[in-house]
């Protein structure tokens, strides 16, 4: 069985890439790697930190 060689992308091509899907990718050695969506378990601490920093920035101004 033969397999087609994957085409590598440049950084500029990666920035311009749009597959019209709600999928996030990262570029690793010229290859697009699909990034899984953020989990609820990870989202909660992120939201809490964002709220904390937002409130802290309001008290500094």
How far is residue 9's CA from residue 15's CA, in Å, rounded to a whole number?
A: 10
- Identify whether the C-beta of residue 18 lies closer than 8 Å to the C-beta of residue 32: no
Q: Could you tell me the pTM of the whole model? A: 0.52
pLDDT tens for 3-24 read 555 689 999 999 999 888 888 8
Give the dihedral of Cα atoms 14, 20, 26, 32; nearest 10 deg: -70
Tell whether the model's pLDDT for residue 35 goes beyond 60: yes
pLDDT tens for 45-54 read 888 899 998 8
Provide the pLDDT for residue 32: 92
Provide the pLDDT for residue 33: 93
Provide the pLDDT for residue 56: 85
């Amino acid at each position: 069985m033969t397999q087609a060689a994957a085409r590598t992308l440049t950084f500029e091509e990666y920035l311009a890439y749009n597959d019209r899907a709600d999928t996030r990718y990262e570029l690793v050695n010229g290859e697009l790697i699909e990034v899984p969506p953020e989990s609820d378990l990870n989202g909660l601490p992120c939201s809490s930190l964002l709220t904390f920093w937002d409130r802290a920035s309001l008290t500094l101004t």
